[in-house]
Amino acid sequence: MIRISDLHKKFRDNEVLRGVDLSIQKGETIVIIGRSGCGKSVLLKHIIGILKPDTGRIVVDGEEITRFEAEEMYEIRKKFGMLFQGSALFDSLTVEENVGLGLREHTNLSKPEIQEIVQEKLSWVGLSGIENLKPAQLSGGMKKRVGLARAIAMEPECILYDEPTTGLDPIMADVINHLIIDMRNKLKVTSIAVTHDMVAAYKIADRIAMLYEGKIIFTGTPEETKNTTNPIVRQFIEGRGEGPIKAV
């Protein structure tokens, strides 16, 4: 579904992406791992056209989106849903209004039709009956699930997850992991998640790719990732700090 070729992006003197190459198959779940600040979220923003690369290509369903103008990109974005790291809910809107935002803006559905879809999607994430609450009344885990309900409201072809389990306790993180798997099975979507949570990566991924110093240095199944001899990947998945740890 998506092919990324030799993608480069620099912010002033900071070269974040240094030639990213990655192909993502239709219907698969790929997890991109890497240290904080390595460019994982920047890569996601390129896939949905929020950022434009300095050089390189991104092809979505056979169309090179890096050359698209705003109106063309507007149409491509309809293929995507995104769960943002901080959920990105609008504080002034109710849960129902947050989840139905895209439907109100981009479809001609009636208010009752939108309400029905919102209720269905909230039930999918285990949050029936909270339509009239505001984000301030929700826990962190509930906000993530409302964000996911909004991401799937228009039944996209691809869902992007930016650090979906960050800030959650282990039990709620596992709930989110199960929901990601459930969305893939229900909607048959392509899923791209970026995370440094290896428990989540092993659980949800068909393939895992590691971003390091601006490039993808490894791709493999969860089992191949666990058994890799690549020293950089091993250091990351084992959570070892750089160099020897000195006794105090």
Query: CA 144, 149, 150, 155 torsion: positive or negative?
Result: positive
Measured in degrees and rounded to the nearest 5, phi and psi for residue 215 equal -135, 155
**Is pLDDT above 50 for 248?**
no
Higher confidence at residue 82 or residue 69? Answer: 82
Q: What is the pLDDT of residues 85-111, one digit of tens each?
A: 888 899 999 999 999 998 998 889 999
Average pLDDT over residues 161-188: 90
For residue 56, how many C-alpha atoms fall within 13 Å in the half-sphere facing its CB?
23
Give the rounded distance of the alpha carbon of 235 from its chain centre. 24
Q: What is the pLDDT of residues 119-170, one digit of tens each?
A: 999 999 999 999 999 999 999 889 999 999 999 999 899 999 999 988 889 9
Amino acid 37: pLDDT = 83
d(Cα 27, Cα 189) in Å, to the nearest integer?
Answer: 5
Average pLDDT over residues 35-43: 89
